[in-house]
Structure 1
């Protein structure tokens, strides 16, 4: 089993010449290999593995800082988090957390990392400036998936052993609510506007929809068998759910929480991620390449005092 995270649009600083060992600018996927104790780095331009990083024992979760500078990898058996510097794919720190770290998420400002410790019933809070654990929050039994709201104000933690989601307020790392969901919640994803959290319930075959304004379950959507991974499209219009036991992905329309499609994929789908659309290059403009397009004043109309 492997976990993957995409470092989308990772452009390394070009203020000074890069050393020979630096990773070229581009987009990379970081894949945690739980059996090997390594992380594979894939160049998405070529889909080739360009590096293999040795981390801790049984790595499973990966999260990248918003600036793409570091990848945080949870090592289940070691009870640690490996910190990979993406500019040269070197492990620059190893942080001891709780027992059985699984899910991991970074705040939108990149200042903190939240790690769900499955066997400890806690969440470790790592300050990224010095990779120090600055807080340990007691949540439910068997915390697994973690998601941070887009404004960074709250963290939602799926507790698979007691069928709840803990809501942590990040300003003081206090659990401010506990939401009962379906049987064996696994992963959680928050919509881009922060209005809803979608939680996969493995043995219920459902997804719970939590309204974040009052942390109420407003809908329960029946999907495939043993739903695990969940992701929301960048526009918030659809939610994709990987159903591990029947080899399918359910597509939920968020406007009415209806399954509008079921896609057959491979055997045992576990995780799911959605890439953001990339802007079109300027040369796609209709007038690009026309005579006079690049003359000095093209496209600039004189102002009222420039005629």
Structure 2
């Protein structure tokens, strides 16, 4: 299994850092075109990354309104273009579909927007029906999309092929971040006022369960085999590993201050989280519940993505 790279967005530095996971060395740094990018996604060949430029303010607060997604060459460590939105949208997250199209959250428009990666033009607008659609997850088949609508405390379920909003599930006063299990049916989002995860059935479009947590959760991910949930407990400064079927906590791993998103390595064994108050990323063994290493980063690391190393003769396309 290739070790690959970890892409880390450092909000206060307005940069994207690329860390080599074999050596934990910093391979390169790229400055964003604007203030405070939050998230990043890499193309499957590891050649290009998409870096939305969000805002200098938290979600739902007054501040700058980004309207660009930087395109970054991960071999040359430089910006090589971008997707320009024709309206202030605060693009926060980007994801790539199997057909090569780029999906970007455009939360000020209460939507996510789909772009052709060759022409860089919008080809579809998918309404979410709620404000602050800050993060989203897409099923592996590319058909189902779910958003975490932060301030409204809800989850929107969207059918991508038809562009139809299937419904909105009211969850809590406030939620943040969201993930889907590999089959795409069940989504998980964290209540920001109570230590619990909502379980959303995307076929029935309703909340079907709560999973209790040791502390208030934040970022989440489901392992590729569907067996475990990995949850960042931000205020407790821990990562929890849960049995997804029973909801029981299998491991609690102490981390530096304020773990954020959860990213899983393709090996199915390791998880990463950025600890923004501590200025580092940590690597955790999911099976044993051990913290393996701490990788220093820039200021306030947040969004991350795993990436392959690009082949030496690759060229952006």
TM-score greater than 0.5 by the shorter chain: yes
Q: Distance in 2 between matches of 1:154 and 1:278?
A: 33
Q: 1:268 to 1:89 in 2, by over 3 A?
A: same
Q: Distance in 2 between matches of 1:207 and 1:141?
A: 23
Q: Which runs of structure 2 are paired with 1:35-50 in the superposition (5 Å)?
A: 35=55, 36-50=66-80
Q: Distance in 2 between matches of 1:33 and 1:277?
A: 24
Q: Distance in 2 between matches of 1:54 and 1:277?
A: 27
Q: 1:176 to 1:106 in 2, by over 3 A?
A: same
Q: Which runs of structure 2 are paired with 1:1-307 in the superposition (5 Å)?
A: 1-2=36-37, 3-9=39-45, 27-35=47-55, 36-55=66-85, 56-65=88-97, 67-97=98-128, 98-276=130-308
Conserved 8 A contact 1:211-1:217:
yes
Q: Distance in 1 between matches of 2:93 and 2:172?
A: 19
Q: 1:271 to 1:216 in 2, by over 3 A?
A: same
Deviation at 1:68, TM superposition (A): 4.3
Conserved 8 A contact 1:140-1:164:
no
CA deviation vs aligned residue, 1:240-287 (integer Å, no higher than 9, x gap):
1110001111221112111122222221111222225789x9xxxxxx
Higher RCO (Cα < 8 Å, 6 or more apart): 2
Deviation at 1:238, TM superposition (A): 1.1
Deviation at 1:191, TM superposition (A): 1.3
Q: Give unmatched runs, 5+ long, in structure 2.
A: 1-35, 56-65
Conserved 8 A contact 1:242-1:269:
yes
Give the aligned CA root-mean-square deviation in angstroms: 2.3
Taking structure 2 as the reference length, the TM-score comes to: 0.76
Conserved 8 A contact 1:142-1:162:
no
Range with bigger deviation, 51-60 or 223-232: 51-60
**1:284 matched residue in structure 2:** none
SS of match in other structure, 2:242 = strand
Report the count of equivalent residues: 264
Q: Give unmatched runs, 5+ long, in structure 1.
A: 10-25, 282-307
